[in-house]
Structure 1
Amino acid sequence: MSEPRKIILDCDPGHDDAVAMMLALANPAIELLGITTVGGNQTLDKITRNAQSVLVACGRDDVPVYAGAARPLVRRVEIAADIHGDSGLDGVELPEPTRPSEQAHAVRFIIDTVLAAEHGTITLVATGPLTNLALAARLEPRIVERVREVVVMGGGYHEGNWTPVAEFNIWVDPEAAHIVFDEAWPLTMVGLDLTHQALATPEVEEQVRAIDSPLGEFFLGLMAFFRQAYREHQGFIDPPVHDACTIAYLIDPAIVATQKVPLSVELRGELTVGMTVADFRSPAAEDCRHQVATTLDHAAFWALVVEAIRMLSQQDTRSQED
């Protein structure tokens, strides 16, 4: 077995961020070095607490949490309460955090971790607005050439959700997204074109229900709220679990098909601010550093998630017996 992929998960939990955390915590192909938080789905204080609570629910409060940017670089704060509720994780009773967040700022943790690690070993996974990553790249440009890859849940090459053409994470802080997309590191965009295929169907939920564990019930509670929110506000029958697709891609790239294509972020269009523009007009050059996720193996993706919940549930049972 190859060495696990060392990642920092920069997120704004968020129902789908919570599932991404479960997958990153449980799968042996991933070594989660820390969680950094950024204002997005809810305010920074709420989503930082959510990250801590999910770690407790997973029996993994050993993972450090670093709070980061509370607002976009230049724009006003925008949250997604319609989709994620007042807490950011409505639908379940959140366990009390058992470990405080770290004193260091998330951006400082990202910089220090990348600089201290061997060149090309740290992957940055961003499932919220890209403010922390943009600040890190500007504060310490040396990290750009040292990062193995940046994987972003955001954008879409044909789809938007917060506006007709812009996805929420990019639209909230398009200036930060522009910085991150424009840097020289390899970047994979796992956008709505892919994540709208990652639907939490009733069949998936039955597999989780069969695990018969508190964490399984936690997942089901999250999905029940998420389903209702997506039906009311986005017109989906089943909710798309966007953020976990980034981790699935890192665990097994065969689950998430990708295509190299140049990407940019629109900043000035009256109707298109936050749009991620992919140039499919001709085959990408060999040295193209961008790629987009295109097609999801739905069954294989959910097999990973269900197994992650099963593994974390078993670990929690063993720890309680000890």
Structure 2
Amino acid sequence: MTKLIIDTDPGVDDAMAIFYAAAAPDIELLGLTSIFGNVTVEMATRNALRLVEAAGLDIPVAAGAPTPLVLPPFTPSFHVHGDEGFGDIPAVTPKGKAIDESAADFLCRMAREHKGELVVCPIGPLTNIAHAIQQDPEFATNVKRIVLMGGSYREGGNITPHAEANIYHDPHAAEVVFASGARVEMVGLDVTHRILCTAEDFAEMAATAPKLGGMLQDMSHFYLEFYKTVGKFDGCSLHDPAAVIACTHPEWFTAENVAIQVSCEEETSGATIDATDERRPTAVYVAVEADKVKARFMEQIAKLA
């Protein structure tokens, strides 16, 4: 069992990733931490609690940072994920509340309690992870792996020509993470763009798992329409679920060990590029057995029936 914490800004594909983790028999989901990105951190916390309750999970949710390390606050990606984060689905106030610990405090504590075992999977901007690294000098060595959804090595960006959105939204935090000495694995656009989820796939999720799969299908309508506006008519990329699947099935991905640094220069801000200093290499995922990853995702979602 992989002991996992997902750092998340739910978000449609975040919901897909969290429901996958809830179903996967090889994942012990220890909690969620929320971060700004697709939505505000307040909305992300609310949405994370809603997903936990929908999936019947008894795990903590810790609220994270509201703004980037250095950059000013920005408007979340409502045009991608909808005004409340879940496409056209209206907001619902969850029954539960976030724990008293901040996301960084929770991450540091769990990394100490599960030293050498904890895998952290950030699927939003890396601000909470950077705060944990800055707060606890041992965090980077206490965690087993940081498997992040973000970045692009050869694929180009999806928010600027140079940058992937999660890295772009807090490049300074991403640079802290890549320079930390932690074992970092980058599940970026080089692989996530190769795995597509179609309208037919969402219909299958709803058929095999009417409650949670149906919830994902309801979210998907807005999300798929956004993809059409940027010229992608064959489905949405399986961004965040791919990162969670990489936590337990790295054998389905091909990685290159590359020392990565993040540009914080205005013109190329958020670009993940070859480092100019001596730092621990990142496992940069550059190829994927897309059929296996997608089949695994669909199989596990079907178990949520």
Give TM-score scaled by structure 2 length: 0.93
> How much has 1:126 moved relative to structure 2?
0.5
Spell out the pairing of 1:119-268 with structure 2 (5 A cutoff): 119-158=115-154, 159-211=156-208, 213-232=210-229, 234-237=230-233, 238-268=235-265
Aligned mates of 2:92, 2:39 — CA distance in 1:
18
SS at match of 1:210: helix
Counterpart-to-counterpart distance in 2, 1:260 and 1:293: 9
SS of equivalent to 1:231? helix
1:306 aligns with 2:288: no
Identify unmatched segments of 5+ residues in structure 1: 280-284, 314-322
- 8 Å Cα contact 2:203-2:217 kept in structure 1: no
Cα distance in 1, alignment partners of residues 19 and 91 from structure 2 = 15
What's 2:64 paired with? Answer: 68
How far does residue 94 in structure 1 lie from its aligned partner after superposition?
5.2
Post-superposition, which runs of at least 4 consecutive aligned residues in structure 1 deviate over 6 A? none
Write the distance in 2 (CA, Å) between the matches of 1:153 and 1:212. Answer: 26
The one-letter code sitting in structure 2 at the alignment partner of 1:266 is S
Question: What secondary structure does 2:239 align onto?
Answer: coil
Name which of 96, 100, 111 aligns with 2:97. 100
Q: Per the alignment, in what secondary structure is the counterpart of residue 88 of structure 2? A: coil
Aligned residues: 300
Deviates more, 1:300-309 or 1:33-42: 300-309
Q: Any conservation in 1 of the 2:209–2:302 contact (CA below 8 Å)?
A: no
Cα offset, 1:65, TM superposition: 0.5
Matched-pair contact (CA < 8 Å) for 2:207–2:214: no
Unaligned runs of at least 5 residues, structure 2: none
Q: Report SS of the residue matched to 2:237.
A: coil
Q: Structure 1 residue 235: deviation in Å?
A: 2.1
2:51 and 2:93 map into 1 onto residues whose CA distance is 10
Tell me how far apart the structure 2 counterparts of residues 170 and 272 of structure 1 sit (CA, whole Å). Answer: 11
Deviations 1:20-46 (A, max 9, x none): 101111111111111000111111111
Q: 1:63 to 1:94 in 2, by over 3 A?
A: farther
Measured in 1, the distance between the counterparts of 2:93 and 2:54 equals 9
Distance change >3 Å, CA 136–CA 207, structure 1 → 2: same
Q: Please give the secondary structure, in 1, of the residue aligned with 2:105.
A: helix
When structure 1 is superposed on structure 2, of 303-312 and 79-88 the one drifting more is 303-312
Find the counterpart in structure 2 of residue 294 from structure 1. Answer: 286
Q: Give the superposition deviation at 1:276.
A: 0.5
Aligned position for 1:116: 113
Secondary structure of residue in 2 paired with 1:19: helix
Q: Is the 8 A contact 1:57 1:95 kept in 2?
A: no
Aligned match of 1:277 in 260, 266, 273? Answer: 273
Give the secondary structure class of the aligned counterpart of 1:71.
coil
Deviation at 1:207, TM superposition (A): 3.0
> C-alpha separation between the residues in 2 aligned to 1:137 and 1:192?
25
The 8 Å contact of residues 181 and 280 in structure 2, kept in 1 or not, is answered as no
Asked if the contact 1:59–1:312 (Cα under 8 Å) also holds between the matched residues in 2, the reply is: no
Cα distance in 1 for partners of 2:204, 2:256 equals 31
Output one character per residue of 1:288-309: Cα deviation in whole Å (capped at 9) or x when no partner. 5311112222222222222222
Would the aligned equivalents of 1:53 and 1:94 in 2 still touch at CA under 8 Å? no
- With the length of structure 1 as denominator, give the TM-score of the two structures: 0.88
Amino acid at match of 1:73: L
1:212 and 1:6, CA in 2 relative to 1: closer, same or farther beyond 3 A? closer
Q: CA deviation at 1:93?
A: 4.5
- Could you say if the C-alpha distance between residues 255 and 93 of structure 1 is closer, same or farther in structure 2, counting changes exceeding 3 Å? farther
SS at match of 2:291: helix
**Cα distance change of structure 1 residues 181 and 212 upon mapping to structure 2, 3 Å threshold:** closer
